[in-house]
Amino acid sequence: MPDSNHSFATTQWTLIWKAASDDSKYARPALEEIMRRYWLPLYSSGRRQGLSNQDSEDATQEFLSGMINGKLLDSADPTKGRFRTYLLTAWKRFLIDHYRKQNSERRGGGTVTLALNFEAGEQHWLALQSREPDPDRMFMRSWASSLLEEAKNRLRIDYTRRNRQTLFEVLQPLLTQSPSASEYSQLGSQLNTSASTVKVALHRLRTRFGTLLREVIAETVDDPTDIDREINELLHLLR
């Protein structure tokens, strides 16, 4: 089983195609790992399109199972754009042509069921739904939010391993905003250190976060030169 902290050695499309046609013990888990990155956008988009939370949960599981089993990858073409764009198109087609026609009919055997926290998914949807009425933009905003959270989780693990979890928990709300001089002093008192030390610590935290975000983005693109463009698009979606 691959290390859960392993950065994919191949590009995302390459890995997806390999996993779809390869029954090795490594290919399928790698594809499952990719699919886990997209379940929140799929669930949120389904809710935005009017599915109940239970129907959106069932649809998400069935769609991901089809992807992992290769059944929904037959028409995929890596030369025609980014994987998330293909995934959104395939998801909308799935909801129209397959899931809704079944009228919530229960699935048969051979389905891969992922262990996903749909309670957290519902909270994620509720936080986004009042701000984004369009299902497609809901998918993209949720995708962007998921990647930021993944980078933040890697940052948390990194700081915890270095016994700096308290520093992370205190400073992580400031990853995307700059505190005032008085706030630096308050943070220094909270951390039992000086305001200048807090400034240095926050700078290092943000630098490490930026590095980890680039790593996460690198796992979703085929061309490394697209990383900066993807980051700019991600930030634009979240504004």
User: What digits encode the pLDDT tens for the residues 162-176?
Assistant: 999 999 999 999 998
The sign of the dihedral angle between the CA atoms of 65, 70, 76, 78 is positive
Same domain for 144 and 56, yes or no, is: no
In a domain, 4, yes or no: no
With b for 16 or more beta-carbon neighbours within 10 A and e for fewer, the 35-58 pattern comes to bebbbbbbbbbbbbbebebebbbb
* Domain boundaries, position 79: 10-130
Name the nearest CA neighbour of 35 among 51, 55, 47, 19: 19
Measured in whole angstroms, the distance separating CA 93 from the mean position of its chain's CA atoms is 21
Give yes or no for residue 4 having a pLDDT over 60.
no
Q: Are residues 113 and 214 in the same domain?
A: no
d(CA 146, CA 37): 7
**Percent with pLDDT over 70 in the chain:** 76
Residues 161, 220: one domain? yes
Q: Which residue has the tokens 């391993």?
A: 161
* Rounded Cα gap, residues 225 and 125, in angstroms: 32
Residues 85 and 166 in one domain: no
Residue 53: enclosing H or E segment and its boundaries? helix 53-68
Residue where a domain terminates, one of 83, 103, 130: 130
User: Does one domain contain both 52 and 141?
Assistant: no
Q: Are residues 138 and 198 in the same domain?
A: yes
Looking at the structure, do residues 108 and 158 belong to the same domain, yes or no? Answer: no
pLDDT reported for residue 121: 80
**Are residues 149 and 83 part of one domain?**
no
Whether residue 116 lies inside any domain: the answer is: yes
Is the per-residue pLDDT at 136 higher than 60? yes
Domain boundary among 104, 130, 156: 130
Same domain, residue pair 142 and 126: no
Same domain, 78 and 114: yes
Radius of gyration in angstroms for the set of CA atoms belonging to the chain, rounded to a whole number: 20
Same domain, 121 and 145: no
In this predicted structure, what is the pLDDT of residue 163?
95
What pLDDT is recorded for position 128?
A: 77
Contact 150/234 with Cβ under 8 angstroms? no
pLDDT exceeds cutoff 90 at 151: yes
Do 108 and 62 meet the contact criterion of CB atoms below 8 Å apart?
no
| CA torsion, ordered 212, 177, 226, 48, to nearest 10 deg | 100
Tally of domains within the chain:
2
- Token duo for residue 197: 């030390």
Spatial separation of the C-alpha atoms in residues 140 and 45, rounded to whole Å:
9
Q: Nearest-CA neighbor of 43 among 31, 61, 22, 27?
A: 61
